[in-house]
Chains A and B, each alone.
Chain A
Amino acid sequence: MRYAMAVDTKKCVGCSDCVVACQTENKVPVGYCRDWIVEVTDGTYPQLEMEIRSERCNHCENAPCVRCCPTGASHFAEGGIVLVTPNQCIGCGACIASCPYDARFPHPDGHVDKCTFCIHRIKNGLKPACAAVCPTKCIYFGDLDDPNSEVSVILKKRKSKTLIPEAGTVPHLYFLI
């Protein structure tokens, strides 16, 4: 099983509903967030092109954060989901320094926090909160090893990219372009 997510940059309007849904679902402390919106504008007026991305931890297959963690607090859970065990984390920051996407942050309680792909929801057959709440339905989620999963189907149909694949991280967060 390899969980992955695909975000449709052509459908995303950048409303930030996913950000708020995540903060609510995961009780993210005020002022912090596990996912965020990036707007990219290319070109000179009036020839402009825009891309909107809902970004989060890429749940990298070759995750530098897991490699650099001295205690094993950062680890791979089922389906390749990268998780942090708070009671094993010493808050050294090695994983934060090692993530090329700056997807992690120090939780005010001391341990490190980040996106979990809402593992507690997917275990119950639900979608991650961000995917469930998206008003344009632009977030697809599922198992890459299952050819009939939502994410496998859309990735077969559409062109996609990952962020800085040249960093060697093998991201599991795809962007449909």
Chain B
Amino acid sequence: MREEIIVSGRMNPMVDPHLQIWHWQIPLYLFLGGLAAGILFFAALFYINGKEKDNPAAVKLAPFLTPILLIFGLIALFFDLRHKAFFWQLYTNIKLQSPMSWGAWTLMVITPVSFIWCALHIKELLPKWDWKYDWLKALETFFNRYKKALAWVMLIYSVILGIYTGILLSAFNARPLWNTSILGPLFLASGMSAGAAAILILSRSKEEKRRFAIIDLIIIGIELFLIVHMFMGFLASTQVQIEAARLFLGGPYTMSFWIFVVIIGMIVPAVLEILELRKFHVPAVVAAILVLFGSVMLRFIIVYAGQASRWLY
């Protein structure tokens, strides 16, 4: 038997639960970022391959959500900071080895891009829209001329943003549960799936709905594959990672993870989407909402459980 006690108080989550350093702000930020990344990815993709007519919701409508999502994400990140007056330090430093720095700079690129994208489509949403000032009109013509280039920037940065939401966590080798390179692709897939779900909710076209139901179905398949892989990797690794996997395999997060994330957030919507594609009448909105719910839960559970996993010594 081995017993280890900290005699004098240490500021440590094992002793003081309030020292769980990241609370709701970070998972919310990761979710909003991932969702925005998913929407922008599909908008850019279908614009670049010239299918914008077939996918009006994806290219023109859903992107209007993204500036709002990104700004709320930044606000959530801001709430996480304890030394708020020094926020600007994020933008006077570039630290290539720090994922947090990468994320801050990626947002600095993609947020304005999302605003520009919306500005280019606002006339389709509000036909009476008038830019009033000539220089705004000139700007619009300018960006319209380079719209393809803009779409490429959006495509690349949305992938960086989506994958960053996972890499932010996987860079921490101190938390064995996060310390797996699967987390980047998993969070990217989850963001894409959430983006597809949002488009599905907004779409009015039967064809487009069908297309995004199929896309979502494929991504859910990828997510399940990645989750299985993640656990295989953990269980075949060192003791600390086996302990980390146990949080989800009998440990305190077992129920919440498998029920909320895997069953309600992936398997049920996948079944609903299959039924829908087979022409049964199930409202597509239900599946889409479940996907969004699962995507939120995935972030919250991984962020909280990760902070409960640690090296043993």
Q: List residues of A whose CB falls within 8 A of some B CB.
A: 14, 16, 19, 31-33, 36-44, 55, 64, 67-73, 86-94, 96-100, 102, 105-106, 109-111, 163-164, 166-168
Contacts and interface: CB of A to CB of B under 8 A. Distances in A.
Contact of B174 (A37, A87, A91, A98): A98
A91 B81 contact: yes
A168 to B, nearest CB: 7
Contacts of A86: 83
Contacts, number: 147
Contact of A68 (B1, B12, B98, B307): B98
Given A64-B172, A110-B84, A43 B1 contact: yes
A87 B89 CA distance: 9
Name the interface size band of chain B. Answer: 35 or more
Contacts of B174: 64, 97-100, 167
B98 A67 contact: yes
A87 B95 contact: no
Contact of B83 (A97, A111, A166): A111
B86 A102 contact: no
A86 to B, nearest CB: 8
Given A68-B98, A70-B100, A100-B173, A89 B21 contact: no
Nearest to B23: A93
B311 A42 contact: no
A36 B6 contact: yes
B82 A164 contact: no
A19 B310 CA distance: 24
Given A16-B7, A42-B1, A90-B86, A164 B313 contact: yes
